[in-house]
């Protein structure tokens, strides 16, 4: 099997603190072009340490993604891992990045298309704009999917992205598919995406949330778990769209059992929230509830919201 370029999304969770100025929530009062200009200036000028992307991201999704090259190397397959970053554009897993907060997912405090009338157009414009930023020491590296296809024209690509991230790169993806080789050698894993309206509908593999029951893990990591399963099951065959689609159809569809979580008292939940609010930047209520539940802890959403507001008031008064 030849080398394969695997493209995955970034994660909101970072191992290292984010310096002031490198969170998109701080520059929300601008149109998309204005925010992009300020954001690129800050990435270049705000003083902050740089870390390999492989070490910067954390969480279940990233733990699975970063393990795929190692797993396949044992079978003689080279996986080149690339990341679709809302803050930086397309980067390699060893690219040096500053810790940042930016997202293509609506509802995030650091959503790139805040206040945009056409969110789909805004995030696509943002993607192509942020990809134009040149990274120190990587001037010759591909910065878009189209450039990746152009510089490695005979290397198959497997894209594993959420619905929102796939929407952001849609125009870039379509440009990559102009090359005939990738009509059959660029496959897309995006559970929840329907591709009938898109030029890349043929390349979208049959995947859905019911795969989670057999592949395990959280729903946020399902796309990369599907990708890992497909690559591990390819038996050294060239990963064409047809072969991977056949493998995807063979994955059993079973609803994932609800996780057993441990209940916590108001006092314990408050303590958890207050500790989190002291981080920089402080997490949003929805993100924090997700972290709480991912830790195996239980709290009803309405109760958590009330305690979050109470914790915010306590922190403001302290």
- In order, the DSSP letters of 216-258 are -S-GGGHHHHHHHHHHHTSTT----HHHHHHHHHTS---PPPP
Query: Does residue 238 carry a pLDDT above 60?
Result: yes
Residue 257 belongs to some domain of the structure: no
Q: Which of 60, 302, 22, 168 is nearest to 310 (CA)?
A: 302
Residue 292 belongs to some domain of the structure: yes
Contact status, residue 66 vs residue 58, Cβ threshold 8 Å: no
Residues 149 and 220 in one domain: yes
Contact status, residue 253 vs residue 213, Cβ threshold 8 Å: yes
Residues 6+ apart with CB under 8 A from 189: 158, 159, 160, 161, 205, 207, 223, 226, 227, 230, 248
CA 26 – CA 110 distance, rounded (Å)? 8
Residues 162 and 280 in one domain: no
For 42-92, write each residue's pLDDT tens digit.
999 999 999 999 999 999 999 999 999 999 998 889 999 999 999 999 999
Residue 151 belongs to some domain of the structure: yes
Domain boundary among 222, 249, 276: 249
Residues 13 and 84 in one domain: yes
Residues 196 and 65 in one domain: yes
Residues 284 and 176 in one domain: no
Residue 256 belongs to some domain of the structure: no
CA 278 – CA 307 distance, rounded (Å)? 15
Token look-up 């006092």 returns: 267
For 198-214, write each residue's pLDDT tens digit.
778 899 999 988 888 88
Helices 301-317/285-294 angle, 10° precision: 120
Residues 58 and 27 in one domain: yes
Residues 116 and 39 in one domain: yes
Contact status, residue 104 vs residue 86, Cβ threshold 8 Å: yes
CA 98 – CA 103 distance, rounded (Å)? 15
What is the distance, to the nearest Å, from the Cα of residue 101 to the centroid of all Cα atoms in its chain?
Answer: 12
pLDDT in the model for residue 249: 95
Average the pLDDT over 260-286 and give the result: 82
3-state helix, strand, coil in the chain (%, to 5): 45, 15, 40
Residues 117 and 56 in one domain: yes
Residue 255 belongs to some domain of the structure: no
The confidence band for 28, taking pLDDT boundaries of 50, 70 and 90, is confident
Residues 190 and 135 in one domain: yes
Residues 219 and 295 in one domain: no
The domain total for the chain is 2
Residues 161 and 303 in one domain: no
For 103-127, write each residue's pLDDT tens digit.
998 878 899 998 888 989 999 999 9
pLDDT in the model for residue 250: 95
Domain boundary among 249, 279, 300: 249
Residues 266 and 244 in one domain: no
Q: What is the DSSP-derived secondary structure letter of residue 318?
A: -
Query: Does residue 163 carry a pLDDT above 80?
Result: yes
**Plot region of 217 (φ>0 → left; ψ -120 to 50 → alpha; else → beta):** left
Token look-up 């997700």 returns: 290
Domain boundary among 249, 271, 293: 249
Domain that holds residue 38: 4-249
How would you class 210 by CB atoms within 10 Å of its CB: exposed for 0-12, middle for 13-18, buried for 19 or more?
A: middle
**Plot region of 239 (φ>0 → left; ψ -120 to 50 → alpha; else → beta):** beta
Q: Give start and end residues of each alpha helix (H) in 144-232.
A: 145-151, 163-168, 170-176, 180-185, 212-215, 222-232
Query: What average pLDDT is seen over the chain?
Result: 90
Percent of the chain with pLDDT over 90: 58
Contact status, residue 164 vs residue 105, Cβ threshold 8 Å: yes
């Amino acid at each position: 099997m030849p080398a394969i370029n695997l493209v995955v999304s970034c994660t909101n969770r970072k191992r290292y603190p984010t310096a002031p100025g490198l969170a998109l929530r701080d520059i929300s009062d601008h149109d998309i072009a204005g925010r992009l200009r300020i954001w690129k200036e800050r990435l270049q000028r705000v003083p902050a340490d740089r870390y390999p992307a492989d070490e910067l991201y954390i969480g279940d999704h990233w733990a699975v993604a970063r393990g795929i090259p190692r797993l396949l190397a044992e079978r003689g397959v080279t996986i080149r891992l690339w990341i679709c970053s809302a803050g930086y554009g397309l980067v390699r897993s060893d690219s040096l990045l500053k810790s940042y907060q930016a997202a293509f997912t609506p509802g995030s405090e650091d959503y790139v298309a805040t206040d945009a009338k056409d969110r789909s157009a805004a995030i696509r414009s943002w993607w192509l704009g942020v990809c134009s930023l040149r990274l120190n020491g990587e001037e010759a590296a591909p910065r878009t999917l189209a450039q990746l296809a152009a510089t490695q024209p005979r290397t198959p690509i497997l894209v594993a992205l959420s619905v929102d991230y796939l929407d952001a790169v849609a125009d870039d993806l379509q440009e990559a598919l102009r090359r005939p080789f990738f009509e059959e050698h660029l496959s897309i894993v995006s559970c929840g995406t329907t591709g009938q309206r898109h030029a890349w509908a043929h390349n979208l593999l049959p995947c859905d949330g019911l795969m989670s029951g057999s592949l395990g893990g959280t729903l946020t990591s399902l796309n990369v778990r599907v990708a890992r399963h497909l690559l591990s099951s390819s038996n050294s065959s060239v990963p064409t769209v047809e072969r991977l689609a056949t493998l995807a159809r063979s994955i059993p569809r079973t609803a994932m059992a609800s996780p057993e979580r441990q209940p916590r008292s108001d006092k314990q939940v408050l303590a958890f929230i207050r500790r989190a609010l002291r981080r920089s930047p402080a997490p949003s209520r929805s993100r924090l509830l997700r972290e709480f539940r991912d830790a195996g802890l239980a709290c009803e959403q309405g109760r958590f919201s009330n305690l979050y507001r109470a914790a915010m008031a306590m922190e403001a008064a302290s």
